[in-house]
Structure 1
């Protein structure tokens, strides 16, 4: 079960972080924000992009649009969103439940800097009805992700 994989992975990094499961689906930003009673920006959406043979997982605040320019600059080619079958194959999770760690394949992970404005963000926890509350610092530590500005009209800037 994907949520068990997430639970085990996160427990090895920080046992205080525990997935939350709901009876209803939280697979869209709007659904998750409504169920949690938070603003959409606090929902960390994970989107898998592909440029040629290179994949990258972009984790962005729910109210931020990931700029194609940013994806192209980071992946080195014309990007497209991965198809649902690719998402499941690469991440090990279905669309709507993609957790940004405990992935089936190793891919670079890029974290939206704008999520820093929240004390807690909620990532999917492997299923369409689960979330994982984490701070931005915890998310960066667990994923090893690179922090970037993902919004349109921004110059591509990568924090190292």
Structure 2
């Protein structure tokens, strides 16, 4: 069996080890750059995919780990966080995380990135996050994501009940 390696994935593995974790990194033959592609490849529900989305809030990077089952309401989230949330450029993503769009992991970044963890991920006993490359994921839990990222658990879209 060939051991696959990539510098960004190695940094994620090291960061996970620093938190006492050693999950299996799953390598796919092809890139899984959307939550649906990742869910299909793993045979899980799309909501179990923890999308790592980089935005800016008042020009500072913020990582939002969101369930693949929905989209981030940037206007609403900005109101909740007290600033203006915008999609980050690919250059900002690379600078903030050391990783490229499609493979951004929740950790393994050059320096800490303010992180929000979507509370909807708590609905699943296992969630899957990118491991630093578009062909990689690793299993984790909502509680582990909060712990290893130092993230803030919160909703990233308004509840349907509140808007009804």
Fold in common (TM above 0.5): yes
Structure 1 contact 58–111 (Cα < 8 Å) conserved = yes
Q: In structure 2, what is the equivalent of residue 105 of structure 1?
A: 111
**Alignment pair present for 1:129 and 2:135:** yes
Distance 1:117 1:140 in 2: 14
- Look up the match of 1:83: 89
Are residues 133 and 14 of structure 1, via their aligned partners in 2, closer, same or farther at CA, if it must alter by over 3 Å? Answer: same
Are 2:45 and 1:39 aligned? yes
Deviation >4 Å, runs of 4+: none
Structure 2: stretches of 5+ with no match in the other structure: 1-6
**Cα distance in structure 1, aligned partners of 2:159 and 2:126:** 26
1:30 aligns with 2:36: yes
Q: CA RMSD for the aligned pairs?
A: 1.6
Distance in 1 (CA, whole Å) between partners of 2:80 and 2:133 is: 28
TM-score normalised over the length of structure 1: 0.89
Give the unaligned 5+ runs of structure 1: 156-160
Quick one: distance in 2 between partners of 1:110 and 1:5? 21
Aligned length: 155
| 1:93, distance to aligned residue in structure 2 (A) | 0.6
TM-score (norm 2): 0.87
Specify the alignment match of 1:17 in structure 2: 23
Check 1:75–1:89 CA distance in 2 against 1; reply closer, same or farther (3 A cut). farther
Q: Which residue of 2 aligns with 1:158?
A: none
In structure 2, how many angstroms separate the alpha carbons of the residues matched to 1:91 and 1:70?
A: 24
TM-aligned CA deviation for residue 30 of structure 1: 1.3
